[in-house]
Structure 1
Amino acid sequence: MEELVSLRGVTRTVLLPDDQELHILRGVDLTVHSGDHTAVVGRSGCGKSTLLNLLGLLDTPTGGELRFQGTPVEQIRGNARARLRGSSVGFVFQQFNLLPGRSALDNVITPLLYAGPSHFWKRRELAMDMLDRVGLAGRAETFPNMLSGGEQQRVAIARALVRGPRLILADEPTGALDVDTGQAVMALLDTVATESGAALVTITHDVNVAALARASYRLDSGVLTSTEVPLGVSA
């Protein structure tokens, strides 16, 4: 399997107003290959969002090495990083982040407005196909406020996947859903990722969600350790 992202001894430190250093990540090692389904579980404030920002090329480490598709991220600058993120990384968020004044179809089309010609000129066809894959072709013209929470999350998944990303980052994707809907959404994410050969990384505080992954890690006070997370045990 192809190595998509690798972190070696990665640290992330920020300087507080009183000149004290806050160590958010401490020597993190992690490798994500194509086709992987990896979960990172941890309590609020443990550094999960910082780790997601690094994996998604939204931030750079303070120390250590972060490579994306074999290239050190410090060598990928400015617009090149933005283009790589847009084409290779799909984000699924807890609160869906759908545009309220746009239909489900228009929400899914949005990332394609910034794609190359081959995607741009087929944007409606590609978006409809992705909505069909998540079971919402019949709701394409429906606005978010008329969709259930589970349907909104499925639209968000379609939007994240419409450009065919190599890496899918799901940030607490079931946090705003009931248990049954959350399980259905995770099954959908896993299925679509598997069909496309993409890697799926789920950032969560819920060990029941983490237990659905094929590899799981615990992040505690900025330290990442591999773990077997038993189903039903509270974090």
Structure 2
Amino acid sequence: MSGEPLLELENVTRSVLLPDDSELHILNGIDLSVSEGDHIAIVGRSGTGKSTLLNILGLLDRPTSGSLQWRGKDATRLSAKQAAHARGRDLGFVFQQFNLLPGRTALENVMAPLMYASGHEFWNRRKLATESLERVGLGKRLDSMPQTLSGGEQQRVAIARALVRRPRVVLADEPTGALDVTTGRAVMDLLDSATVDSGAALITITHDSNVAALAREQLQLDGGRLHPLSEVAAR
């Protein structure tokens, strides 16, 4: 680890109540510590709880039990407003389907998170968004609409948007799922180098062990718990 933990999960569980009043146990005791500069990949098949874990890591949901610490504070006690502020300020999200705003240029898409900023970030939003796009190699595509960009270029816009506020943690949910293998590898290399340059932690949620292999720490979500990927493979 490199520095003080940003996110710490200890024995985190998540259950939901089913219509027949029985409980479905999705997460059964997650332990995870994330510090600045970490690159962690979490691998899991469909239905293993990856999305549930992502929502907890992204402060979008709360655990049923266990400890969730965000920058040394009990994240389960954050109000909805405080959690939303933390997400906007310190968390960046990259999704499989890009989620770019239609009818908005690449620059306008990257500027979007800065519309809710204040002070320097708000007044310099165009400059900051331009610099973020230049860092991902799209300085000449500022005025391009999403539909005129390739899949790899759209994902690079999404990465620029996720990094524009220099978050502490970037959560990438199946970031290469809509891309071919070669483009996906290039996007992951870019995402890794961009987060290293900014000092952010990168957590990649994926079903692809090849994508996971690019991370410095590889974990598998299995049986509602996290295990080192090498340990699972040896079973």
TM-score interval (norm. to shorter): over 0.9
Report the counterpart of residue 31 of structure 1 in structure 2: 33
Matched, 1:173 2:188: no
Give unpaired runs (5+ residues) of structure 1.
none
Report the counterpart of residue 128 of structure 2 in structure 1: 126
Asked whether the 8 Å contact 1:47–1:221 carries over to 2, the reply is: no
Report the counterpart of residue 200 of structure 1 in structure 2: 202
TM superposition shift of 1:75: 2.2
Report the counterpart of residue 107 of structure 1 in structure 2: 109
TM superposition shift of 1:117: 1.6
Report the counterpart of residue 145 of structure 2 in structure 1: 143
Deviations 1:35-76 (A, max 9, x none): 000000010010011111101100000000000111111221
Query: What is the letter of the counterpart of residue 146 of structure 2?
Result: P
Report the counterpart of residue 188 of structure 1 in structure 2: 190
Matched, 1:15 2:25: no
Distance, in Å, in 2 between the alignment partners of 1:160 and 1:144 is 16
Deviations 1:125-149 (A, max 9, x none): 0000000000001001000000000
Q: Determine helix, strand or coil for the equivalent of 2:61.
A: coil
Q: Determine helix, strand or coil for the equivalent of 2:140.
A: helix
Distance, in Å, in 1 between the alignment partners of 2:76 and 2:157 is 33
Deviations 1:72-93 (A, max 9, x none): 1122112111111110000000
2:58 to 50, 56, 64: 56
Deviations 1:92-125 (A, max 9, x none): 0000000111000000000000012210000000
Report the counterpart of residue 70 of structure 1 in structure 2: 72
Q: Percent identity?
A: 62
User: What number of residue pairs does the alignment pair up?
Assistant: 231
RMSD (CA atoms): 1.3
TM superposition shift of 1:229: 8.5
Distance, in Å, in 2 between the alignment partners of 1:199 and 1:129 is 20
Distance, in Å, in 1 between the alignment partners of 2:57 and 2:225 is 16
Query: What is the letter of the counterpart of residue 156 of structure 1?
Result: A
Distance, in Å, in 2 between the alignment partners of 1:156 and 1:89 is 14
Asked whether the 8 Å contact 1:211–1:229 carries over to 2, the reply is: no
Q: Determine helix, strand or coil for the equivalent of 1:139.
A: coil
Q: Determine helix, strand or coil for the equivalent of 1:24.
A: strand
Query: What is the letter of the counterpart of residue 8 of structure 2?
Result: S
Greater than 4 Å deviation, 4+ residue runs: none
TM superposition shift of 1:228: 3.0
Report the counterpart of residue 211 of structure 1 in structure 2: 213
Query: What is the letter of the counterpart of residue 203 of structure 1?
Result: I
- Give TM-score, length-normalised by structure 2: 0.96
Distance, in Å, in 2 between the alignment partners of 1:23 and 1:145 is 41
Asked whether the 8 Å contact 1:131–1:140 carries over to 2, the reply is: yes
Distance, in Å, in 1 between the alignment partners of 2:206 and 2:149 is 24
Give unpaired runs (5+ residues) of structure 2.
none
1:224 to 223, 226, 231: 226
Deviations 1:5-60 (A, max 9, x none): 01000000000111110101000101111100000001001001111110110000
The alpha-carbon distance between structure 1 residues 168 and 99, as it changes in their structure 2 partners (threshold 3 A), is same
Distance, in Å, in 2 between the alignment partners of 1:59 and 1:29 is 17
